[in-house]
Amino acid sequence: MSASISLARARLYTFVDTAYLAGRNPADVARALCDGGSDLVQLRAKGATADEVRRLAEAVLPVTQRAGIPLVLNDHWDLATELGCPLAHLGQEDFFDAGLRSVGELRTRTDVTRWPGIGLSTHAPDQAKRAIAAGPDYIAIGPVFATATKPGRPPATLEYVRWAAREVLMPWFAIGGIHLNTLDTVLEAGARRICVVSAILNATDVAAACREFRRRLDSVPLSDSRPVPPGV
């Protein structure tokens, strides 16, 4: 299954984030995320060297491949390309601040015939519009709420989610501070795809936490994500 087809159907985007592993084996965490019903799994290792990220990816990628779930490599486009990861995710600073204006420009930097799909972070409507024009496969909308995963980043609020539900046609994922007590408000604002980091990784049973998010997401049809009136 191609990454683009997987994205069209994706609802639950989860993470193997080294900041939340607490000594656990990353491959075991990835397996639990897959078993719990994740549609995408991102490997996120802020502060790690490229060699450390490579070793982590080499441990996690076989797990996601066996499960048929795309692995998203955060920050490291070159490594994602080299290792055959289906997707890579880049922040504003990694893409636009690096002088890039389109995904096509990034692909010209590598001498290969098959590239990872690209996701881009966005924090406001203007950033989302610019990101969409760059041609990614999906965008992230957030952080919706304040979160320790993005320290110092002010929340984009539910109003940004409402805007995305009205205006964004490509796959987009709400991210930031989403847990089971805030999920309903995010869904009511129009999100149908979500990223969850700490609420799953800090759970005693990672697979069970995934299943509960999956159950709640599946109770709302993916197809009714538009339109959402202002202020809802």
Output the pLDDT for position 230: 47
Q: What is the mean pLDDT of residues 123-146?
A: 96
Please state, in angstroms and rounded to a whole number, the distance separating the CA atoms of residues 54 and 64: 15
Mean pLDDT of the chain: 91
The CATH code of the domain at 3-224 is 3.20.20.70
First to last CA, the chain: 36
Which 3 state secondary structure label does DSSP give 229?
coil
Please write the tens of the pLDDT for every residue from 25-76: 999 999 999 999 999 999 999 999 999 999 999 999 999 999 999 999 999 9
Question: Are 100 and 77 in contact, with CB atoms under 8 Å apart?
Answer: no
Output the pLDDT for position 108: 80
- Residues linked to residue 15 through DSSP beta bridges, in sequence order: 42
Place 89 in a pLDDT band, splitting at 50, 70 and 90.
very high
Residue 114 has pLDDT above 80, yes or no: no
Please write the tens of the pLDDT for every residue from 213-230: 999 999 999 875 554 444
Question: Are 103 and 134 in contact, with CB atoms under 8 Å apart?
Answer: yes
